[in-house]
C-alpha cells in the first residue's frame, strides 16, 4: 500500500483515512471496535475524528466518537499503529467554541482524556475563527507541539485566503504551520476546492484529506430516488444530491464501475486518489464489508478516459 507524507510533516499516512463521525452514532461501540480492527488489518493506519462528533444526535453531548476510539485504543494496545487525527473549534455548548488560546488548551485536554492517549498525531482547527487573531491560535497550537501533546497541525474548512494568511503568519512568527487541509471535496462537491484551494495546497506542500469523499453515501449509488433516503440518518444531506447533475454523476460512476469490475463508491474514491492535490480522502464505514470495499478501492486502475468521463459528468 502506498503510504503518503502528510504535507511537510513526519506523518506517513495510508491513502484513505477512516472517518470517525459514525462511531457512537450509526455504529455502536462493538461495531466500531470491529471496524477499527479491520481497518488496521487491511493495512490502513489513518483515523480522523473530532471533539464535536456526534453532538447533533439527540441526547449526545459531543465526544462520543473520541470516547469510543479511546476505549478501543486502550483495550487493544494499538496506539503506535494509528495516525490519530481529531479537531477543535466547533460549538460544544456552554460557550465552548472557537480557537482562542484558553479554549484550545481546555479542549485538547478533554480530547486527550477521551482518547486515552498522551498525544494527538494531527490536531486540526475544525473551522476558521475570524474573531480570534491567527497569531493567538497558532501560538496556542505551537505550545501543544512543544509540549509533545500534538505532533502536527492541520486546518479544516478554511478558505484559500485565510489558509494562505495562516501559513504566512506561521512563517513570519516562526511557528509550526498547518500541514494539512480538510476540505469538502468529492465528485459532486468540486467547485470550492478546485477554484483556488487545490493550487494553494500544491504550491505550499499542504496535504489534503478531503471529507465527504462519498457525499454521505450518495456516490455509492444506493440513493437514486427520494424514497431511497427515507430511512437514512443522513436524509437531509443526501437529498440535496438527488437532482439531474447527481444522477448524471451516478451514471458515469456506473459506466466506470462496469469497466473496472468494481462498485460506484469505489470508483468515486479512486477518482479522488487520482487527483494530484489529494493525499488521503476520508470515508466512513459502518460494516466490515464497507471496510473491505474501501481497501479494494485502492487497487482500482482508472484510466485517463475514465477520469475524463467522470470529470465531464460532474463538471
What is the spatial distance between Cα 158 and Cα 228, in angstroms, rounded to a whole number?
33
List Cβ neighbours of 13 (8 Å cut-off, separation of 6 or more).
Answer: 3, 4, 5, 6, 45, 46, 83, 207, 209, 279, 280
Phi, psi of 92 (to 5 degrees): -105, 5
Q: Shortest CA distance to 155 belongs to which of 137, 178, 184?
A: 178
Cα 162-166-171 angle, rounded to 5 deg: 150
**How is residue 87 written as a grid cell?**
479537531
Q: Shortest CA distance to 209 belongs to which of 232, 186, 177?
A: 186
List the catalytic residues: 53
Amino acid at each position: 500500500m502506498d503510504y503518503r507524507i502528510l504535507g511537510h510533516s513526519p506523518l506517513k499516512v495510508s491513502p484513505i483515512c477512516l472517518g470517525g463521525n459514525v462511531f457512537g452514532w450509526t455504529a455502536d461501540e462493538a461495531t466500531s471496535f470491529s471496524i477499527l480492527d479491520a481497518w488496521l488489518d487491511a493495512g490502513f493506519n489513518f483515523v480522523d475524528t473530532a471533539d464535536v462528533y456526534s453532538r447533533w444526535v439527540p441526547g449526545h453531548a459531543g465526544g462520543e466518537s473520541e470516547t469510543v476510539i479511546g476505549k478501543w485504543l486502550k483495550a487493544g494496545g494499538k496506539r503506535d499503529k494509528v495516525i490519530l487525527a481529531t479537531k477543535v473549534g466547533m460549538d460544544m455548548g456552554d460557550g465552548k467554541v472557537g480557537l482562542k488560546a484558553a479554549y484550545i488548551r481546555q479542549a485538547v485536554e478533554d480530547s486527550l482524556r477521551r482518547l486515552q492517549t498522551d498525544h494527538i498525531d494531527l490536531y486540526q482547527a475544525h473551522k476558521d475563527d475570524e474573531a480570534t487573531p491567527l497569531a493567538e491560535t497558532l501560538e496556542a497550537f505551537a505550545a501543544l507541539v512543544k509540549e509533545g501533546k500534538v505532533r502536527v497541525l492541520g486546518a479544516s474548512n478554511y478558505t484559500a485566503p485565510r489558509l494562505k494568511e495562516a501559513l504566512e503568519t506561521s512563517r513570519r512568527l516562526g511557528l509550526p504551520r498547518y500541514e494539512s487541509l480538510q476540505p469538502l471535496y468529492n465528485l459532486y462537491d468540486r467547485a470550492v476546492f478546485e477554484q483556488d484551494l487545490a493550487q494553494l495546497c500544491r504550491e505550499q506542500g499542504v496535504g489534503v484529506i478531503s471529507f465527504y469523499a462519498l457525499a454521505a453515501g450518495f456516490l455509492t449509488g444506493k440513493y437514486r430516488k427520494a424514497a431511497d433516503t427515507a430511512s437514512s440518518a443522513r436524509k437531509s444531506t443526501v437529498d440535496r444530491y438527488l437532482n439531474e447533475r447527481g444522477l448524471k454523476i451516478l451514471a458515469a460512476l456506473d459506466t466506470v464501475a462496469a469497466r473496472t469490475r468494481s462498485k460506484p463508491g469505489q470508483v468515486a474514491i479512486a477518482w479522488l486518489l487520482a487527483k494530484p492535490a489529494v493525499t488521503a480522502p476520508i470515508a466512513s464505514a459502518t460494516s466490515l464489508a464497507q471496510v473491505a470495499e474501501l481497501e479494494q478501492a485502492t487497487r482500482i486502475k482508472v484510466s485517463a478516459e475514465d477520469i475524463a468521463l467522470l470529470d465531464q459528468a460532474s463538471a
